[in-house]
Amino acid sequence: MQRAERGSEAGFDQSFLKKLEYLHIVAKKVFAGRLRAERRSRKTGAGIEFADHRDYTPGDDLRYLDWAVYGRMGRLLLRLFEEEEDLYIYILVDSSTSMRLGAGSGSLLSRSSDGRIAKLGYAAQVAAALAYVGLSNLDRVAVYEFAEALRGQLPAARGKGRIFKVFDFLSAMRPDGQTDLRTALTQFVHRTRRRGVAVVLSDFYDAAGYEEGLNLLRYHRFEPAVIQIIDPHEARPALRGDLELVDMETGERRQVTLTEAMCAAYARTHAEYCQTLESFCSSRGIGYLRADTDVPFEDLVLRMLREGGFVR
Amino acid sequence: MTFLGLPVAQLWALMAAGGVALTTLYLLRQQRRRVEVPFAQLWNQVLRKSEATSLWRKLLRYLSLLIQLIVLGLLVASLGDPRLGRSEKGRTLVLLVDASASMQAVAPNGRTRLELAKSQAKELIHALGGDDLAVVVALDGQPAPMGGLSYDERQLLSQVDAVESRDTAADLPAALELARALLAGRSRPLVILFSDGGFDENTLKVTNVDRGVELRYQPLPAQASPAPNSGNAAITAFAVRRYRRNRLSYEVLVSLDWFPGQPRAGAAPQRVTLELLQEGEVVDVQALELQPGQQLERLYPNLSGAGRHLEARLRLEGGAVDTLPLDDHAFTVLPERRRQRVLIVTRSNLFLEGALLAAGAGEENHLAIDKVAPAAYDPGRADRYDVVIFDAFTPPAPPAAHAIYLDPQGPNSPFAIGSTIKSPLLTDLDAQHPVLRWVSLGDVNMSRGSVFQPRPGDRVLASMLKQPLIVAREEPTSSGLTRRSLAIGFDLRQSDLPLRVGFPVMLMNALDWFAGDVDDDLGSLRTGQMWRIPLQRAIKGRGAESGPSPTTATLILPDSSAVPVPVTEGHALHYGQRVGFYELTTGQAQAPRRFAANLGDLNESAAAIRRELRVGGAVVRPPEAGQRALRRVLWPYLLLAALLLLGLEWWSYHRRFTV
């Protein structure tokens, strides 16, 4: 009962979870797993799907001898099968201060009276959904929280029962600190021996740039995927008049007098920024999805993630 | 540009203070709303781009400050009440509004002529150009401007409203002189007269308007013309006097005139009712018929009564309407019955005593006569009398009372004696003096006469070849009153004067002159004159001689309002403007002096309306219609401009043009 409530808090009801169970996280590469699961591996073994033949060597299991080939060609060849293994899915959630944007007076995971939700809350919901999809498919799912560095992690584990630990981990996140993708992802790749899919959920507001961090994942043979969390109010601000703009992460202040034209210019600049990120990702084979927090969460998970190729 | 509100210096000070305050507030750092943004770097990119237009934005900010300074300037300027200035084209006008008695005549529509004239004056003021400078002058017996020369329409209208009718005739020559003085050195001077034209013909003929001013005459509108059954019945004279022999009785003279509203040949006489009232009670009513243009006099002899206030009322009969009610009432006050205390200092003079007995005889003896021998004369006692008669005795010092010196002699004589002549004849007589009224001294014989050396101010009543033998003197006392003396330079017992009828008459005249009955018998005065009201009778006696001379007195007007009036040489001065009963008090313990005032002006009572006015033999043209000018008051427009600018500022602020 308690667990069901925690799931509901994260935005998951039973019917939604059922729908998630039909989804699979897409991994374009083939990664080596630990246990037999539903993923192809480069290992040949106890799978059911034929992979290749090799010459028999003494000691091999005679059950895998291909007697038909021996009958036609007189050679003892052993049938090799692709062994299905589990996938490592790493979900990295940005919990920097900028992810607080959109938060109301209540919980980060809940929407406020005007329908807004904190970016971090939205990211946590998406992360939870991805984790559930992975766990449902017997993949190993690890969740990381980062900002200026890796802050905490939920070690990779498998099994749907694990999802509640994921919920607890995500619920405990608090927005704080500056985004430093390079440092955080450097720590991530150095700590993680098993390669897998690395889904980065962030707004990618990194003054030092996001490129180096994402490239690190690629260089270390992870399959990175990017979900950019955007609050519509930051994309198209409706600010006017004499204001003092304060950067949420750096505390930098700037006194400005904003006009409608300047806000429109900002919207264009922001769109360019997002477009640049998307272009970067697409040019490097990195999956990219822009998630606006005003899009209903179910819609994002069930439709957009599938359309973006994150799940199938 | 002229500022009629706050002085220009104050306006500059206000503008400077307001401007400094506004600029300071503008330069102070504005408390800005703090907004958290997730990624300031993006904003920095945008702001870097907008810096190219920041100069324009700064200018827009200064435009906002400029608008506010202009609004401040407009508000401050409106406090100064600016008016359009004068140009060389402007005229200078004096608007003479006739406020004389005839302007109180009521038109058939119920409005007085003065109201109609004021309406005409206001219409002209509305039509004045912005450069026209004008002033309103009330034309009555004492023409006076109702304010200063002004461009302001409202001020001029209020000047017109301030014109009040007076119960006097209009002094047109004085008004024209005043207008000349007001217009001296002004551009395009013009005098416009709003009147019924009821001026004295002779005055109009001799009045010269060619000296420096141009006169225009605005006759009253046609609606002021009297109706056919109307006219003005007037009491043109109302006088009363006590009988000299019987001061309990008096007689009243009333003169009546009838001025038909539309004079025509063969006009029917007008029936009127004349009432005579004493202290408000009707004592006589007469029905009379007045012929047009003919004066009717009625004498009421042998009237008696205790009251002193007499009033005559005239009422038209037969449904006729009286256009000028002012002269339907007339007022007068009976002279006070006074008792004179007379002291005779004489050894014995039957002629003198007999004449005094004759003067005091009658139904009421108003003389209280005491006699004392010269040896028993006490100056202190003499001061308690009104008159002291010294018969062949010269006191060491003149008494405080009035005195008759019969043949004064010696160095103590108050009338210095130059020489003595034998058997003089009185060749030159001043019959105008009250003492010699009805007296003939042409063939009086005397054995000897003292020739007086009159002082300046003395009046020689009788002389022989420029050698004064009878002299009258009026001199102020230390308390400001007037002491009268009469000196006769011969002994009565050595003359045949006591045997003549003229002697008791002259003696009676002298006593009346002392008592002030001659010149103090005010009865009724005419309005439109400077009244010189003697205080002597009111102050004399009761030891008032020792008090200080009053410099002011209080005059209670017919409407019961009290005004202070100056007193000089024992007379209060006041310019009479209202008909009715007056009362003069000095604030000392004396009885008030009562008198009355009446219009008494045939010309005003005629209440004629002239459509054409001839002054100095030339017809006065009517004024040209003026061009209606723009309103000269600017502050509403300044405030409107300020409001518009504030609206612009509000709009530009909320549209973020100037922020």
Asked if B54 and B106 sit in the same domain, the reply is no
Q: Which structure tokens are listed for B218?
A: 């605005």
The b/e string for B121-146 (b: 16+ C-beta within 10 A; e otherwise) is bbebbeebbbbbbbbbbbbbbbbebb
Instruction: Check CB contact under 8 Å for B37 and A246.
Output: yes
User: Do B76 and B21 belong to one domain?
Assistant: yes
Q: What is the mean pLDDT of residues A63-87?
A: 81
What CATH number is associated with residue B344?
A: 3.40.50.880
Cβ distance of B33 and A243 shorter than 8 Å: yes
Considering only CB atoms, B45 lies closest to which of A257, A258, A269, namely A269
Q: How high is the mean pLDDT of chain A?
A: 82
Regarding whether B372 and B493 lie in a shared domain, the answer is yes
pLDDT tens digits for A269-285?
999 999 999 999 999 98
**Mean pLDDT of the region B372-390:** 89
| Selection from B294, B231, B296 nearest residue B263 by Cα | B231
For residue B656, what is the nearest residue in chain A, using CA coordinates?
A: A259
List Cβ neighbours of B330 (8 Å cut-off, separation of 6 or more): B235, B237, B238, B254, B311, B312, B524, B579, B598
In a domain, B465, yes or no: yes
Integer Cα distance of B482 and B29 in angstroms: 85
The model's pTM: 0.51
Max mean pLDDT among B4-8, B359-363, B594-598 falls in: B594-598
Better-scored residue on pLDDT, B4 or B652? B652
Provide the number of structural domains found in chain B.
5
Q: Looking at the complex, report in whole angstroms how far the Cα of residue A101 sits from the nearest Cα belonging to chain B.
A: 7
B544 and B501 belong to one structural domain = no
Is B141 in the same domain as B240?
A: no
Average pLDDT over residues B223-243: 85
| A101, closest residue in chain B (CA to CA) | B38
* B66 contacts B644 by C-beta, under 8 angstroms: no
* pLDDT at residue B626, rounded to an integer: 54
Check A248 against B36: CB less than 8 A apart: yes
**How many residue pairs bridge chain A and chain B with CB atoms within 8 Å of each other?**
81
Distance from CA of B123 to the nearest CA of A (A): 56
Per-residue pLDDT tens over the stretch A204-228 = 999 899 999 999 999 998 989 999 9
Distance between CA atoms of B19 and B14, rounded to whole angstroms? Answer: 8
Q: Is residue B659 part of a domain?
A: no
Cβ count near B252 (within 10 Å): 22
Q: What is the pLDDT of residue B541?
A: 42
| B180, part of any domain | yes
Q: Is the pLDDT of residue A113 over 90?
A: no
Q: Do B353 and B318 belong to one domain?
A: no
Q: Quick one: B184 and B247 in the same domain?
A: no
CA-closest candidate to residue B149, choices B112, B123, B187: B187
Selected residue of A247, A249, A250, A272 to mutate for chain B interface (largest B Cβ count, 10 A)? A247
Contact B40 A242 (CB under 8 A): no
Cβ separation of B35 and A242 shorter than 8 Å? no
Distance, in Å, from the CA atom of B568 to the CA atom of B622, rounded to the nearest integer, reads: 45
Residue of B248, B176, B247 whose CA lies nearest to B208: B176
Question: What is the SS3 string spanning B149-213?
Answer: CECCHHHHHHHHHCCCCCCCCCCHHHHHHHHHHHHCCCCCEEEEEEECCCCCHHHHHHCCCCCCC
Contacts of A240 in chain B (CB under 8 A): 656
- Per the structure, the complete domain to which residue B560 belongs is given by 528-598
- What's the confidence (pLDDT) of residue B188? 82
Domains and CATH numbers, chain A: 2-30+86-307 (3.40.50.410), 36-85 (no CATH)
Residue B446's φ and ψ, nearest 5 degrees, are: -155, 155
| Angstrom distance (rounded) from CA A278 to CA A272 | 10
Mean pLDDT of B450-474: 92
For residues B232 and B628, give the distance between their C-alpha atoms in angstroms, rounded to a whole number.
Answer: 39
pLDDT on residue B223: 86
Tell me: do B408 and B478 sit in the same domain. yes
Where is mean pLDDT largest: A161-165, B372-376, B570-574? B372-376
Query: B310, B360, B359, B328: which is closest to B236 by C-alpha?
Result: B328
User: What tens digit of pLDDT does each residue of B201-217 get?
Assistant: 888 888 877 666 788 99
pLDDT of residue A80: 79
Query: What integer is the mean pLDDT of B396-412?
Result: 91
- Give the domain-ending residue among B515, B538, B563: B515
Q: Is B32 on the interface with A (CB under 8 A)?
A: yes
Confidence of residue B629 (pLDDT cuts 50, 70, 90): very low
Residues in chain B with CB shorter than 8 Å from the CB of A271 are none
Binary contact (B656, A273; C-beta < 8 A): no
Lowest mean pLDDT among B25-29, B559-563, B612-616: B25-29
Q: Tell me the mean pLDDT in the region B149-168.
A: 90
Across the range A47-73, mean pLDDT stands at 82
Please report the pLDDT score of residue B318 as a whole number: 83
Cα separations (Å) of B210 from A176, B174, B182, B620? 102, 15, 15, 11
E strands present in A75-213: 77-85, 88-94, 140-146, 150-157, 197-202
Please tell me the predicted confidence (pLDDT) of residue B545.
Answer: 45
Give per-residue pLDDT as tens, B506-544: 988 898 888 765 545 556 788 988 888 877 543 344 444
Distance CA B480, CA B535 (A): 10
Q: What is the mean pLDDT of residues B71-76?
A: 92
Q: Is the pLDDT of residue B571 over 90?
A: no
Q: Which CATH number does the domain housing residue B205 bear?
A: 3.40.50.410
Burial (CB count within 10 angstroms: exposed 0-12, middle 13-18, buried 19+), residue A184: buried
Q: Could you tell me the CATH number of the domain that includes residue B305?
A: 2.60.40.3230
Residues in chain A within 8 Å Cβ distance of B30: 242
Residues B496, B355 share a domain: yes
State whether B61 and B104 are in the same domain.
no
pLDDT at residue B357, rounded to an integer: 80
